[in-house]
Amino acid sequence: MTNSELHQTYLNVGGVNLYCEYLLNDKPPIFLIHGFASSTYTFRRIIPFLKKHYSVIAVDLPGFGKSEKSTSFIYSFQNYAKLMLDCMGIFGLSNSHIVAHSMGGQIALNMALLAPEKMNKLVLLCSSGYLKRARKSLVLTSYLPYFEKFVYYYIQRKDVKHHLSNVFFDQSLIDDEMMEEFGKPLLEKGFYKALTRLLRHREGDLLPTQLRDIHVPTLLIWGEEDRVVPLEIGKRLVSDLPDAQLITYEKTGHLITEERPDLVLKNIMMHAI
């Protein structure tokens, strides 16, 4: 392994086995957090360039990717945030750039609220925001026998290509490799157990009053054709966060690192200065 290659390993953090890809060098650290039903694969097009300028750490969140589908972890955003902060501590990171996509953005915002002194700057890519907690009736229903099978059939009723088509503006970018990679977790029984627990444990997104307490410099990057987290969410976030700016890309959907990797890299680098 050369000094420029990513290491791949498992770390036990807070009793959960996390899959991690990292490269530590003498450059500033950047910590990558993926979104819902995704993995470090989200950043595959930007990591090769980021590692030329940063120490890079990317982690699969509990319940997703190659990380443990724990049935004891509490799948709340605050717990995710604490776990990611603990992970940063293992790598000795104290002043890191955070790049987070979709649901990962909500985790990053929770991290900034809990430990702003450990954050340098945030880059939120099509970040989730303003979602309320699941209805109490649905949470209660999740405790019924066979609910996980219901989740399984609900997701499986449409194929991987259909799910991916929802996150792309340019459908021609969806290829066999991508469908295979995003389809892997859908084959694991543990994935559906984790989703059920996420449904139960996920608190509502941070309120505007909480967002206004986050003073970490934040760059919001959005695809104007995002059908998963509409641009209106970005406009609300840039209004509520005290030190934030919003950049949008035309003809771009939700999976912005696949559709506009060059622009994302350019904006990360400019924001990091």
For residue range 5-30, list pLDDT tens digits in order.
889 999 999 999 999 999 999 899 99
| The pLDDT value given to residue 3 | 57
Q: Is residue 200 part of a domain?
A: yes
Q: Which residue has the tokens 């724990």?
A: 70
Residue 240 within a domain: yes
pLDDT (0 to 100) of residue 16 = 97
Residues of the chain with pLDDT under 70: 1-3, 273
Q: Do you know the residue count of the chain?
A: 273
φ/ψ of residue 91, rounded to 5: -90, 0
Give me the CATH number covering residue 191. 3.40.50.1820
pLDDT value of position 104 = 98
Indicate the helix (H) or strand (E) that contains 125: strand 119-125
Structure tokens at 186: 């859908």
Domain for residue 105, yes or no? yes
Kindly give the residue spans of alpha helices, DSSP state H, lying in the chain. Answer: 47-50, 77-90, 103-114, 136-141, 147-156, 160-165, 176-183, 189-201, 208-211, 231-240, 256-259, 261-272
Instruction: Indicate the number of domains in the chain.
Output: 1
pTM recorded for the entire structure: 0.95
With respect to residue 93, please indicate whether it lies within any of the assigned structural domains. yes
The whole-number pLDDT of residue 273 equals: 62
Please tell me the predicted confidence (pLDDT) of residue 1: 38
100 occurs within a structural domain: yes
The residue segments making up the domain with residue 188 are 7-272
Given this model, what pLDDT does residue 243 score? 97
Q: Is residue 1 in some structural domain? A: no
**Residues contacting residue 44 through CB under 8 Å, at least 6 positions apart:** 257
Question: In this structure, is residue 2 part of a structural domain?
Answer: no
List residues with catalytic annotation: 102, 254
